[in-house]
Amino acid sequence: MESFRTEYELQVEAKKLRVEKDILELGDKIAAFKDGKIPDDKFRSLRLARGVYGQRQLGVQMIRIKLPYGKLSSNQLRRIAQVSDEYSTGRLHITTRQDIQIHHVSLDRTPQLWSDLEKDDVTLREACGNTVRNVTASDNAGINPNELFDVTPYAEQVFQYFLRKPFGQELGRKIKIAFSSDDQDDAFTFIHDFGFIPRIKLQGKLQVKGFKVLIGGGLGAQPFLAHVAYEFLSESEIIPFIEASIRIFDRYGERNSRNKARMKYLISKIGLETFLELVGKEKEAVQFDLNRDQVKPLTEFEYEEQTAVERDDLYTSDLVYNQWIRTNVFLQKQPGYLAVFVKVPLGDFYTDQARSLAYLLDSLNLPELRFTINQNIQIRGVKPEQLSPIYLQLEQLNLIGSGYGGLTDITACPGTDTCNLGISNSTNVALELESFIRTNYPKLIEETGIRIKISGCMNSCGQHGLAHIGFHGSSIKTKEGTLPALQVLLGGGQTGAGTGRIAEKVIKVPSKRILKVVQSILDDYLQFHENDEAFNAYYDKQGNTYFYNLLKPLTDLNQVELEEYLDWGQNERFATAIGVGECAGVIIDLVGTLFFDAEEKLFSAQEAWIENRYADSIYYGYAAAVHSAKAKLIEKGIRCNSQHGILTDFDTHLGADFGYSDSNLFSDFVLRINKEKASKVFAKAYLNEIEELITKLKVKNEY
């Protein structure tokens, strides 16, 4: 029996080899694509799964760096800064999924960029595309005074477990997972494919950790609120549940129409009860044992015993500093420790600031940074006497803005700056709005009951559907041309414990009138709301029509100024220039390509078997069978929109031609993956049979 250390070292070495293989493969695929050996759509799917995303400007790429729950060390921050300087422009963008994006990267240099990041254990794998995306979590997880337990280790375990899993590589659409630290639900679990909120259940005298589980939520152009799958699911069951659900989604989910391909549509189509029944059966094939050593608190930072501190103890005679204390500094659950939130406008900061922040962490012996869902930065483990040097350093870095989590802390996606799907500008609008509110409504800087979020299109990357006051990019036709416009939405936000509300569309207005829109809404609320009446309560009381009528005068196009034809921050007349969305890589319906894919997956299956990853091996084999069956169906002119449809159509139209019958269905042959345990013996037999199947199906094909 090898020692734990030896086993750990073997795991590290295996991971290193997989990473090296990934990077070499990306380089090979780039070369093959440039030689015309790989179709564009096929290559797009491959590069997206490796964090390489096309942007609005031709010839360069956006790189999304995947940071589970936004956590990173000072060394990782330095590494990201080095990579941005070397391969990009020196600008770093924090996303609403706690990732970092850098832009204007040459495609040819992405393998070396990835290799550099991996020196500090930072990955690009599955940061984009139809994969399991970054796992997000409450930024205050582990320090939240109201949490039942720290969800961070569970988020980490889910992230690590699903990285490179074969069933998560070519899904119909992306999967998003979130963990909230308490019922306030600041991770917005109710709009995720999977959302988890901590629960503790008494079983006799034992306290069992688990989660309330939400499933099937999503924003986008057609938002869905998540369903409650379980009020309590034990900690050991969450990964088997996620895996079984993704397998079912992979098999039954829509493949042709990207607008109906998210998991929320599958659940809506077949019903939650049927979906959970399928998941229950699929779980029999999932082998997972919870390693309790892996769900202990992850930080190596040891909190020393400190005297408890109250917020009043932190104030000085400096009024500006005191406002920063009130809005940006929070008491941790660890007595005597504080968390500092650094407000980052638009989520954009630069490599010199990043290096200074890394130095700050090291010089004060602080444990880590976390990027937040609201595109800011959190520094934790701060002692009261460290606040002053932190404040002074942030002041030098121009990162001292107060109002974290409030009205002036505006969320915005990159929009037309870099995104193919952007319709009108979101970033400059956000900056103008913040400046306008700070100047005209200084008393509202500390208002946390109203949030503004902006997206460049209806796809919700800026989470406009979750805002009390939300906007998404649009356009308005006039006799003289086209105006940049913004759709106004009101009344969104979380309501707690996995429930929430989606903002409702009110009216569309020219973009250059947006300051007057916000002014009208705020003035009306301030004048007419009752004491302690929250904004959304006031919106509900007055109703959508009331706000439509309030804002209707701002839509009058009888007198349009020439400036209104220029979008915010632009010098040229506005014109819509919407490209093709990058996230929805399609499957190429070419017979030869599909057989080639099947053989690649069979090779991956055999590699996984050699590495003793039998469950992965079996699933790769399953995928190879599905791809080869699809190739034969397409050859016969039969098209399917789901993996389940491929199997049943093969039974109906081709099964008899290849020796299958009603008592020996092709689908039953393939779907043994959810009836047999993932053993070495079964995996080997299954792969041998799949290899024979592919050979048999290819006989009549020449390509």
Range of the domain at 371: 311-396
Tell me how far apart the alpha carbons of residues 534 and 350 are, in angstroms, rounded to a whole number: 37
Q: Are 387 and 309 in contact (CB under 8 A)?
A: no
| Per-residue model confidence as pLDDT tens digits over 676-693 | 888 999 999 999 999 999
Q: Are residues 168 and 288 in the same domain?
A: yes
User: Kindly report the CA angle at 642 between 637 and 648, in degrees rounded to 5?
Assistant: 70
What confidence score (pLDDT) does residue 548 get? Answer: 97
**Token pair belonging to 297:** 């608190």
88 secondary structure, DSSP code? S
Greatest mean pLDDT among 201-205, 248-252, 561-565 lies in 248-252
Q: Are residues 534 and 643 in the same domain?
A: no
Q: 698 or 558: whose pLDDT is higher?
A: 558
Q: 152 or 657: whose pLDDT is higher?
A: 152
The CA-atom distances, in angstroms, between 659 and each of 594, 650, 655 are: 22, 12, 6
Residue 465 has φ and ψ, to the nearest 5°, of -70, -15
Give the pLDDT mean for 2-8: 56
Q: What is the arrangement of strands in the sheet containing 411-412, beginning at the earlier edge strand? A: 411-412, 452-455, 469-478, 481-490, 504-510
Question: Domain boundary residue among 298, 330, 363?
Answer: 298
Question: Domain boundary residue among 264, 298, 332?
Answer: 298
What confidence score (pLDDT) does residue 703 get? Answer: 36
**Token pair belonging to 418:** 């870099």
Q: Are 264 and 295 in contact (CB under 8 A)?
A: no
Which alpha helices (H) appear in 636-698, and where do they start and end?
643-653, 666-670, 680-698
Q: Are residues 456 and 337 in the same domain?
A: no
Write out the DSSP string of 295-340.
GS----PPPPP-----GGGG--S-HHHHHHHHHHEEE-SSTT-EEE
Q: Are residues 107 and 146 in the same domain?
A: no
Q: Give the count of domains, the chain.
A: 5
Residue 402 lies in a domain: no
Tell me how far apart the alpha carbons of residues 703 and 700 are, in angstroms, rounded to a whole number: 10
What confidence score (pLDDT) does residue 637 get? Answer: 87
Q: Are strands 411-412 and 452-455 parallel, antiparallel or unpaired?
A: parallel
Residue 304 lies in a domain: no
What confidence score (pLDDT) does residue 587 get? Answer: 38
Give the pLDDT mean for 557-570: 89
Query: For the chain, how are helix, strand and coil distributed in percent, rounded to 5?
Result: 45, 20, 35
Mean per-residue pLDDT of the chain: 91
Tell me how far apart the alpha carbons of residues 585 and 591 are, in angstroms, rounded to a whole number: 18
Q: Are residues 7 and 143 in the same domain?
A: no
**Token pair belonging to 421:** 């799907």
Q: Which of 200, 217, 209 is nearest to 498 (CA)?
A: 217
Give the pLDDT mean for 83-111: 96
Q: Which amino acid is at 228?
A: V
Does pLDDT of 603 surpass 50?
yes
What confidence score (pLDDT) does residue 689 get? Answer: 94
Element (H, E) at 194: strand 194-203
Residue 305 lies in a domain: no
Q: Are residues 248 and 149 in the same domain?
A: yes
**Token pair belonging to 275:** 């979906």
What confidence score (pLDDT) does residue 641 get? Answer: 81
Residue 579 lies in a domain: no
Q: Are residues 58 and 142 in the same domain?
A: no
Q: Are 509 and 547 in contact (CB under 8 A)?
A: no
**Token pair belonging to 289:** 């044992």
What confidence score (pLDDT) does residue 297 get? Answer: 61
Q: Are strands 91-94 and 348-350 parallel, antiparallel or unpaired?
A: antiparallel
Question: Domain boundary residue among 396, 429, 453?
Answer: 396
CATH number of the domain that residue 649 is part of: 1.20.120.330
What confidence score (pLDDT) does residue 674 get? Answer: 84
Q: Are residues 420 and 446 in the same domain?
A: yes
Residue 475 lies in a domain: yes
**Token pair belonging to 646:** 């491929």
What confidence score (pLDDT) does residue 586 get? Answer: 41
Tell me how far apart the alpha carbons of residues 206 and 289 are, in angstroms, rounded to a whole number: 20
Q: Are residues 164 and 281 in the same domain?
A: yes
| Per-residue model confidence as pLDDT tens digits over 271-298 | 999 999 999 999 988 878 777 666 666 5
What confidence score (pLDDT) does residue 182 get? Answer: 98
| Per-residue model confidence as pLDDT tens digits over 13-46 | 878 888 999 999 999 999 998 898 888 878 888 8
Residue 570 lies in a domain: no
CATH number of the domain that residue 375 is part of: 3.90.480.20
Q: Which of 87, 115, 119, 121 is nearest to 24 (CA)?
A: 115
Residue 259: pLDDT band with limits 50, 70, 90: confident
Does pLDDT of 375 surpass 80?
yes
| Per-residue model confidence as pLDDT tens digits over 182-235 | 999 999 999 999 999 999 999 888 999 999 999 999 998 889 999 999 999 999
What confidence score (pLDDT) does residue 702 get? Answer: 41
CATH number of the domain that residue 163 is part of: 3.30.413.10
Tell me how far apart the alpha carbons of residues 556 and 538 are, in angstroms, rounded to a whole number: 26
- 439 alpha-carbon distance from chain centroid: 34
Name the β-bridge partners of 200.
Answer: 209
Q: Of all residues in the chain, what percent carry a pLDDT higher than 90?
A: 70
Q: Are 468 and 492 in contact (CB under 8 A)?
A: yes
Reading phi first (left if > 0) and then psi (alpha if -120 to 50, else beta), residue 198 is in beta
What confidence score (pLDDT) does residue 623 get? Answer: 93
Q: Are residues 559 and 599 in the same domain?
A: no
Q: Are residues 43 and 81 in the same domain?
A: yes
What confidence score (pLDDT) does residue 480 get? Answer: 87
Tell me how far apart the alpha carbons of residues 161 and 295 are, in angstroms, rounded to a whole number: 13
Element (H, E) at 82: helix 74-87
Residue 648 lies in a domain: yes
Contacts of 29 (CB under 8 A, 6+ apart): 38, 43, 46, 47
Residue 580 lies in a domain: no
Q: Are residues 375 and 487 in the same domain?
A: no
Q: Are 471 and 551 in contact (CB under 8 A)?
A: no
